[in-house]
Amino acid sequence: MVYFEYGETELSYLRQKDRRLGEVIDRIGYIDRAVDTDLFSAIVHHIIGQQISTKAQATIWQRMRDALGEVNAESILAAGVPELQALGMTFRKAEYITDLAQKARDGAFDLDGIWQKTDGEVIRELSSLKGVGIWTAEMILLFCMQRPNVLSFGDLAIQRGMRMIYHHRKIDRKLFEKYRRRLSPYCSVASLYFWAAAGGAVPGLKDHAPKSGADCKKKAGIR
């Protein structure tokens, strides 16, 4: 298994630039985060995982690998939309994946050339594919292409982790950009720790987001 590559250079930089994040890094320790360096399968995997649980994504992905063997443009096109849908994904996702396979096979989407492009160019090209938005493109940048400076404003868990570490009630775009500038050029490593914090890896950290009306009523015993 391949993991996101980083080391003491990145961690030391983040500790120096941000004391609170540095404390979280020291409490959590080194994070091993698996990556998929095959761009085609990474895109397919992320399309499958949209708006479903991680467990459901893993189940469908394993079914696909069992059914197709290698997940590539040829195996996807040979299967077709009905067979892909039968694996448990929606008809629309099966169409998106088939469209990707067609473009990859025909050369309309350059799987090799995209590696030479900047982060912004990669996001624009990936976002031009059906079923791939900015957040999905950013996740592919990080968990496939291993780009070092990815921090996603559209990721709710990233925002939650930032609220917990920095004790903010809300992370708006201006505040987010302040932290992005501070943590560059190693935002991807910072992202790993924001996700870990959001998932409860640091006992005692709490989310400072304002309680919703429903939460307040529940606490007061109002139904």
The yes/no answer on whether domain 39-143 falls in CATH 3.40.630.10 is no
| Mean pLDDT, contiguous 10-residue spans, the chain (223 residues) | 96 98 98 96 95 94 96 97 97 98 96 97 97 96 98 97 98 98 98 98 95 50 37
CATH architecture of 8-31+149-198: Orthogonal Bundle (1.10)
DSSP state of 114: G
Give CATH 1.10.340.30 domain extents, the chain: 39-143
Say how far apart CA 209 and CA 206 lie, in whole Å. 9
Task: Give the model confidence (pLDDT) of 89-126 as tens digits.
Answer: 999 999 999 999 999 999 999 999 999 999 999 999 99
The contacts of residue 89 (CB under 8 Å, 6+ apart) are 48, 60, 97
**Residue ranges matching CATH 1.10.1670 in the chain:** 8-31+149-198
